Structure 1
């Protein structure tokens, strides 16, 4: 199995002068093709910064990031933008949608911007993704006419519209109730099983327990790694015990 993304010896600083703080401290991390990885750690440990760095949203100060053979740390912004749009998907805690577009139009927007000539095929794919996410009947609804969980599912559909190799999620269930969060994780698990790599930042042990591997960060460093792939997917009790046990050891 080959690496879909590699961050090697990456460092990231915030602030200047005496206020300068190292947020990522010589981290090396990778995600294999089709792998499901979660990132956990206390607030301020660098979880989201790591995610944004690997996704090419934030530039790193040292080290290199390679995605699908392209070195992001050396790329120009136009190239980075194209790579993010076509090769990656992003899901955030609060989905950012355009208020003047309905759910379907918000989902197809990234793909239509890339190729207006394929709008029929793009729409067909979007409706199939919405069907898979259980929101196909909401296609023509405004974003103010759906629940938070439904909006998040639409955000995942949008992240998948260009068939990315990896989907990044920053606390994608953080603003949802337990039932909606469970539905979202079922969807992430399903798309991962179809071959898309997934990397999620989370505080929730239930979310992390769905992944194959959990990285624990503290003060900008990976301090522990937990492999859950040896446990059956349905054995959530054992998976949860492993995650919560490691959280207790690290004081998270």
Structure 2
């Protein structure tokens, strides 16, 4: 299977002088095309920092990140921004929507920079995405007029508007109730089944259990991995137990 993402001995430090510490301490890892992976670990373990490094959102001190054959460390900020906008999608715990735009306009925003003459076509794609995730009737709503689960669905639509090769999610269900969280994971699983690679940062064993491979981090390094068969909607309790057993085993 072709490698989508390669992290090679990534080091990222924060702080100055004697307070400086490596949040990522020589991390090496790979993600294949179409793979569904999770990164787990306690607060401060480096899991979100790893996601930002792999997506080119943050620079690294040493090592390299290769995405779809391109070495991110050799790219300028404008080139990185274009790469993220056209080939990556991002879903965060709290979607960062613009308050002066309605839901539809927030969704189409990432696609407008290169396609200002195709507003109608982009809007139609957005409406199809909204229909798919169950918010087709909310396009004119302000972001304050929808629930957290609906806003997260809108965030997924925005992440998909440019047909990305990979979706990054940082605690995408962290602010949702259990029912909404399950529905969001169903949507992400469907997206992955269609060939889009997905990487999720999470502390939730139920979220991680929906993925195929879980990387566990402690103190800036990956200390263990757990592989699971592709989720088929069966034996969820058994999958969660495998995740929690591994967490107990490595002490996180």
Q: What band does the TM-score fall into relative to the shorter chain?
A: over 0.9
Shift of 1:30: 1.3
Post-superposition Cα deviations, 1:31-52, rounded to whole Å, max 9, x if no partner, equal: 1111000000111000000000
Q: Is the 8 A contact 1:231 1:238 kept in 2?
A: no
Task: Name the CA distance, whole Å, in 1 between partners of 2:176 and 2:164.
Answer: 25
Counterpart in the other structure of 1:228: 228
SS of match in other structure, 2:175: coil
Counterpart in the other structure of 1:17: 17
Counterpart in the other structure of 1:141: 141
Counterpart in the other structure of 1:98: 98
Runs of 4+ off more than 4 Å: 230-233
Which consecutive unaligned segments of at least 5 residues does structure 1 have?
A: none
Deviates more, 1:101-110 or 1:112-121: 112-121
Task: Name the CA distance, whole Å, in 1 between partners of 2:230 and 2:180.
Answer: 27
Task: Name the CA distance, whole Å, in 1 between partners of 2:96 and 2:33.
Answer: 27
Post-superposition Cα deviations, 1:133-174, rounded to whole Å, max 9, x if no partner, equal: 100111111101000010011001100100000000000111
Task: Name the CA distance, whole Å, in 2 between partners of 1:109 and 1:231.
Answer: 33
SS of match in other structure, 1:238: helix
Answer yes or no: is 1:37 the counterpart of 2:17. Answer: no
Q: Note the 1:8-87 alignment, pairs <5 A.
A: 8-87=8-87
Shift of 1:197: 0.4
Deviates more, 1:226-235 or 1:21-30: 226-235
Shift of 1:251: 2.1
CA RMSD, Structure 1 to Structure 2 (Å) = 1.1
Q: Is the 8 A contact 1:34 1:198 kept in 2?
A: yes
Counterpart in the other structure of 1:108: 108
Answer yes or no: is 1:181 the counterpart of 2:181. Answer: yes
TM-score by length of 2: 0.98
Q: Is the 8 A contact 2:211 2:230 kept in 1?
A: no
Q: Is the 8 A contact 1:202 1:208 kept in 2?
A: yes
Q: Is the 8 A contact 2:208 2:243 kept in 1?
A: yes
User: Aligned in 2, Cα 1:232/1:181: closer, same or farther, shift over 3 Å?
Assistant: closer
Task: Name the CA distance, whole Å, in 2 between partners of 1:184 and 1:231.
Answer: 15
Q: Is the 8 A contact 2:210 2:231 kept in 1?
A: no
Give the number of aligned pairs: 252
Task: Name the CA distance, whole Å, in 1 between partners of 2:232 and 2:155.
Answer: 28
Task: Name the CA distance, whole Å, in 1 between partners of 2:6 and 2:122.
Answer: 30
Counterpart in the other structure of 1:217: 217
Counterpart in the other structure of 2:245: 245
